[in-house]
Amino acid sequence: MSRRPLAAPVLAALLLCRCASQVPVQLPAVGPVGAARVLPAAGEDAAMTGTLVVYSESLPVSKHRSAPSYPHTGYVIFRANGQVLAKIDNNAASVESDPEEVPLRAGLYEVRARGAQVGTVMVPVVIAPRKRTVLYLDAEGMPEAEARTLTDPVTLPDGRVVGARAAPAP
């Protein structure tokens, strides 16, 4: 009976797990819910601007021995052609724990963000004029009362509702 060292199979398993955990979770497209209206940013054409809000993973941050705040992690918005459009810090200036509201021209984009307990997530998002598209990637997910109103929600692998499935193009 020959004995093989266990180090090689264990190392191979660890490397496979590490590589697998770096593959982003790809979700279906998310779009605005119902007719939620938003105001355009100053100088933007109201007819062609919508808003994106991403509740990405929140991580505790302590500053100078004060109580921790829980800002949402930053994310990247890509154009439909794959080019980076913007890198968003994702901290609203007024309250650190609120995500940033990002005005965007109507269209299709892709968001790469950190989802709580799932790692990196890639989500196509549809921005519609004067509407708000919201992604819930934090630990809580979409509020239950709102999630119950969706007929076809987009969910993470663990069942948390991320948002409303985008309507197919006419």
pLDDT tens figures, 71-129: 788 999 999 899 999 999 987 665 567 899 999 999 999 999 999 999 999 999 999 99
pLDDT at 109: 96
Assigned token pair, 127: 């921005």
pLDDT at 10: 47
Assigned token pair, 105: 């021209």
pLDDT tens figures, 28-54: 999 998 644 444 455 555 568 899 999
Does residue 147 carry a pLDDT above 80?
yes
Q: How far does CA 119 lie from the centroid of its chain?
A: 10
pLDDT at 126: 93
pLDDT at 39: 46
Provide long-range contacts, Cβ within 8 A and 24+ apart, for 142-148. Answer: 146/33
- For the whole model, what pTM was predicted? 0.76
CA 82/CA 73 separation, integer angstroms: 21
pLDDT tens figures, 16-32: 444 445 789 999 999 99
Number of separate helices (H) and strands (E) present in the chain = 2, 11
What is the torsional sign of CA 114, 115, 116, 120? negative
CA 125/CA 110 separation, integer angstroms: 6
pLDDT at 86: 95
In this structure, of 11-15, 115-119, 142-146, the range with the lowest mean pLDDT score is: 11-15
Q: Which of 123, 142, 165 minimizes the C-alpha distance to 55?
A: 142
Does residue 131 carry a pLDDT above 80?
yes
Q: Of 38 and 158, which is predicted with more confidence?
A: 158
What is the per-residue DSSP string for 65-120? TSPPB-PBPPEEEEETTS-EEEEE----SS-TTSPPEEEEESEEEEEEEEETTTEE
**Residue 113 CB partners (closer than 8 Å, separation 6+):** 54, 56, 57, 73, 75, 76, 120, 121, 123, 135, 137
pLDDT at 167: 74
